[in-house]
Amino acid sequence: MNSMDHPEKRGLPRSRRYGDRFVEALLFAAAITSILAMVLIFYFLSFESFLAFREVGVFDMLLGQKWHPAGEVFGMAPIIAGSVLITTIALFINILVGVPLAIYLSELAGRRSREVLKPAIELLAGVPSIVYGFLGVLILVVYLERSFGMLTGRSILAGSILLGIMFIPALTTICEDALRAVPKEFKEGSLALGATRWQTVRRVTLPAASSGIIAAVILNVGRIIGETMAALLVVGNVARLPSPIFDAFDRGAIFTSVIAGEMGEVAHGSIHYHSLFAVGFVLLAIVTVLNISADLVRAAIQKRFGGY
Amino acid sequence: MRKIRPAPLASIVVALFLLTSSLVCLVIQPDPIPLVSFWMGGLFLDLVLISASALTLRQDVSPGGRALWTRGRVLPLAADLSYLLAVILLVFFGLVGPGLELEFLGLSAVFTYAIVLPFLVFLASFLAIKDSINLLYGYSSRGREVLVFSMVRLSAVFTLILLGGIISVILFRGIGAISWEFLTQPHFRLGTEGGISTCIQGTFWLVMGAMLISAPLGIGAAIYLNEYSRHSGLKRVVTIAVGCLNGVPSVVYGLFGLAFLVATFGLSLLAGSIILGLMNLPTIILTSQEALKSVPNSLREGSVALGASRWQTVRKVVIPSALPGVLTGLIIGVARAAGETAPIMWTAVTFSATPVQMYYGIVPDVTQPVNNLCYHLLNLIYFLGAWDVEEKAWGTALVLLALVLSINMVAIFVRNHYRKKISW
């Protein structure tokens, strides 16, 4: 391969040599576009939110107990509380179905059921979020309202259920890859010792795949907090601290629903406009940290305990 | 050969009936629950059967094994049985009866009889199944395996029901709205009448624009990373950036477009295409890289040995071999771009009924905003309470879902078709 690095030594015609250089430069430009895009996104979000942070104060903004745009009070505590509550419940539903499904696909399913389930999961992953939101408004919200005698079914619970269900395919796909990467010898060794298949899964396969599974869960946390349309339509969009803090039956708001719900009506350049960018900036920071830490966690667990 | 015990088997059958019927009642909530007496009878029967088989189990197990009734087994069994008994007594004495309304912990919800009773029965029948399976297999690890794996199988059933449910609900409710006029006319009177032709056009051009931007950039980046890059440092930074870009929430893309592009281009097809293209970039880079990685090195070496330059090798050998994988990634990108709402909400769309302006009949006017299926559906959802748009909304959702799912199916088909065909 060494000679490929120095085309000039290999007597290629001059025109082709420069053509190759030109193509390489183009490809290089394409490769660094994503770095450029990431830098630009961070730059524009911090630039636009800077004004809000300066006007309101960083601590008042992040920890303030009230989000009341009409009174120019912008505290993100209610939004953060809503996001934490929604993410927790949604993640519970997500893991409850997603991980067993991955186990089924990688350990139990025969050829036939795999051929049905794999495309089904991929299709489910492709359902647009606005369609989930639409079904959420017309079916889930109505169901919750009737079942639990709520003032309105638009609630943190509705958002959690919807988001939890939405991201099952994403979790399952990554978990299945992690489970499949565990070498056959491990499982066969365990089975040969007389363990049942479930004992093998629990004591051998799952621990060996744990780094991948934990990384998948962290990535999914990022996806859940960042999901917009479905959340916007069902959470109720009332940015107020739930009154026992764990009251999932109350209306609430999360980062994305506040931004998407209020950006349409806000005056360009007002303090409210910049505050919404600040909310977006905090969201971006959280999700980016989660994404990078998913990678680091995977590497750390693999280094410490081995695994796949 | 192990003797099959009839009592646990019978109690499993009874409990399965309780489980399914209580689940159905949880979902549809018929007001005066017609099944209460059945449920109570079933629970009582289970209670008797489980106790009886627990008491006779001792005789079936061969002596010399480990102690059967350890504390870790007796206590859960006793707890489960007393829970069953408690449910029966609560209903028998009317503590859980019609008119019950529970409120607790300050939650803003009322738990009525129609929810509480099926829930209690559901839980009881689940516990009964767990204990019966344990008893059936004499508390061996095989019993636990049967129990856990049947729950694992349920998750697969749940997924299929979910997909089937989403598709069939939208199909049945939306099919009535679909007609030739619906697909070929613009909407009027705030979407209560007319069709969605402008949305279909807008979606088409937005997706085309997005792919024009993301396909060359994404495939180029993947080729550079996989075939050219010599600095592992740069490769690592790009990989991290792609990972981050992949995780950036769609609403943040929308904010970015609003701050960055709308200031320059205004609310326009161009701004929306750039944003959607950027959003698609990581998907396309990752899938293309995967496809390029799967091309074996021997092919590259063979080409280089024949005197081909690097670009010739890539163009004539690597890309043709990786094409199916790259194509799959592109098609998935099309489906994603067609289904996104948040990134274009403030950058490219209006609820307009004017068709896209065309130059020379084929080039759209990129400086004008367009309408879009997702955005149209969002507006109809907002109008739901105020105007009679529900049927149109179902129709729009059906068109959107059919569009996105069929594109995804094409991607799955392409991938499976070539996976079978290619062998190195």
Chain B CB within 8 Å of residue A48 CB: yes
B416 or B380, higher pLDDT: B380
Each residue of B279-315: pLDDT tens digit?
999 999 999 998 998 888 888 888 889 988 888 888 8
Read off the pLDDT band of B236 (50, 70, 90): confident
Distance separating alpha carbons of residues A122 and A126, to the nearest angstrom: 6
- Whether B29 maps to a domain, the answer reads yes
The residue in chain A having the minimum alpha-carbon distance to the alpha carbon of residue B255 is A277
Those of residues 132-151 in A touching chain B at CB distance below 8 A are 133-135, 137-139, 146-151
Kindly state the greatest CA–CA separation across chain B.
91
Read off the pLDDT band of B375 (50, 70, 90): very high
- Here the ipTM equals 0.90
Q: Which residue has the tokens 């636990």?
A: B144
Chain A with chain B: Cβ pairs closer than 8 A: 296
Instruction: Let me know: does B344 contact A260? Beta carbons within 8 Å.
Output: no
The residue in chain B having the minimum alpha-carbon distance to the alpha carbon of residue A200 is B145
Those of residues 254-273 in A touching chain B at CB distance below 8 A are 255-256, 259-260, 263-264
Instruction: Let me know: does A283 contact A225? Beta carbons within 8 Å.
Output: yes
Average pLDDT over residues B13-22: 90
Chain B CB within 8 Å of residue A11 CB: no
- Whether A76 maps to a domain, the answer reads yes
What angle (nearest 5°) sits at the alpha carbon of residue A47, between those of residues A45 and A49?
65
Could you tell me if B57 and B97 lie in one domain?
Answer: yes
Give the domain CATH number at A268.
1.10.3720.10
Q: B370 - beta bridge partners?
A: B349
Which chain A positions have a beta carbon within 8 Å of B407's beta carbon? 126
Number of domains comprising chain B: 3
- Whether A102 maps to a domain, the answer reads yes
Q: A31 and B221 in contact by Cβ < 8 A?
A: yes
- Whether B348 maps to a domain, the answer reads yes
pLDDT tens by residue, chain A, 308 residues: 444 455 445 555 666 677 788 888 899 899 899 999 999 999 999 999 998 888 888 888 888 888 888 888 888 999 999 999 999 999 999 999 999 999 999 988 888 999 889 999 999 999 999 999 999 999 999 998 888 877 788 889 999 999 999 999 999 999 999 999 888 888 899 999 988 899 999 999 999 898 889 999 999 999 999 999 999 999 988 888 887 878 888 888 999 999 999 988 888 888 899 999 999 999 999 999 999 898 888 888 877 766 66
Q: Nearest-CA neighbor of B396 among B168, B197, B189? A: B197
pLDDT of residue A3: 43
Which helix (H) or strand (E) covers residue B390, if one does? helix B390-421
Those of residues 152-211 in A touching chain B at CB distance below 8 A are 165, 168, 195-199
- Whether A81 maps to a domain, the answer reads yes
- Whether B231 maps to a domain, the answer reads yes
- Whether A35 maps to a domain, the answer reads no
- Whether B1 maps to a domain, the answer reads no
| pLDDT of B60 above 60 | no
> A299: domain range?
61-305
Could you tell me if B19 and B115 lie in one domain?
Answer: yes
Could you tell me if B306 and B348 lie in one domain?
Answer: yes
Could you tell me if B152 and B206 lie in one domain?
Answer: no
Task: State the best of A15, A131, A173 to mutate against chain B, taking most chain B CBs within 10 Å.
Answer: A131
Could you tell me if B157 and B242 lie in one domain?
Answer: no
Could you tell me if B132 and B150 lie in one domain?
Answer: no
> B154: domain range?
145-177
Instruction: Let me know: does A235 contact A186? Beta carbons within 8 Å.
Output: no
Each residue of B100-136: pLDDT tens digit?
777 777 777 788 888 888 889 999 999 999 988 888 8
The DSSP secondary-structure symbol of B2 reads P
Which chain A positions have a beta carbon within 8 Å of B240's beta carbon? 292, 295
- Whether A56 maps to a domain, the answer reads no
Give the domain CATH number at B356.
1.10.3720.10
Top mean-pLDDT range of A124-128, B55-59, B187-191:
A124-128
B359 or B378, higher pLDDT: B378
Those of residues 285-304 in A touching chain B at CB distance below 8 A are 287-288, 290-292, 295
Could you tell me if B351 and B239 lie in one domain?
Answer: yes
Which chain A positions have a beta carbon within 8 Å of B242's beta carbon? 34
Q: Residue B399 region, left (φ>0) first, then alpha (ψ -120 to 50), else beta?
A: alpha
Could you tell me if B237 and B298 lie in one domain?
Answer: yes
Q: A124 and B162 in contact by Cβ < 8 A?
A: yes
| pLDDT of B140 above 90 | no
- Whether B400 maps to a domain, the answer reads yes
Q: A149 and B114 in contact by Cβ < 8 A?
A: no
Each residue of B247-284: pLDDT tens digit?
999 999 999 999 998 888 888 899 999 999 999 999 99
Task: State the best of A1, A12, A34 to mutate against chain B, taking most chain B CBs within 10 Å.
Answer: A34
Distance separating alpha carbons of residues A27 and A5, to the nearest angstrom: 16
Please state, in angstroms and as integers, the Cα–Cα distance from residue A240 to each residue in A49, A63, A225, following that order.
22, 13, 18
- Whether B263 maps to a domain, the answer reads yes
Q: A128 and B338 in contact by Cβ < 8 A?
A: yes
Average pLDDT over residues B380-389: 88
State the average pLDDT for chain B. Answer: 86
Could you tell me if B210 and B128 lie in one domain?
Answer: no
The residue in chain B having the minimum alpha-carbon distance to the alpha carbon of residue A266 is B346
Distance separating alpha carbons of residues B390 and B396, to the nearest angstrom: 10
Number of domains comprising chain A: 1
pLDDT of residue A247: 81
Could you tell me if B121 and B196 lie in one domain?
Answer: no
Which residue, of B128, B155, B177, is where some domain finishes? B177
- In sequence order, the 6+-apart residues with CB closer than 8 A to the CB of B135 are B5, B7, B8, B50, B53, B54, B57
The residue in chain A having the minimum alpha-carbon distance to the alpha carbon of residue B394 is A134
Average pLDDT over residues B168-196: 87
- The closest CB to that of A198, out of B149, B278, B393, belongs to B149
Distance separating alpha carbons of residues B282 and B284, to the nearest angstrom: 5
- Whether A28 maps to a domain, the answer reads no
The residue in chain A having the minimum alpha-carbon distance to the alpha carbon of residue B396 is A131
Backbone angles phi, psi at B102, to 5 degrees: -100, 135
- Whether A116 maps to a domain, the answer reads yes
B422 or B360, higher pLDDT: B360
Q: B249 and A288 in contact by Cβ < 8 A?
A: no
pLDDT of residue A105: 93
Give the minimum alpha-carbon distance from A123 to chain B in angstroms, rounded to a whole number: 6
Average pLDDT over residues B398-413: 94
Which chain A positions have a beta carbon within 8 Å of B234's beta carbon? 31
Q: B245 and A34 in contact by Cβ < 8 A?
A: yes
pLDDT of residue B337: 92
pLDDT of residue B95: 79
- Whether A69 maps to a domain, the answer reads yes
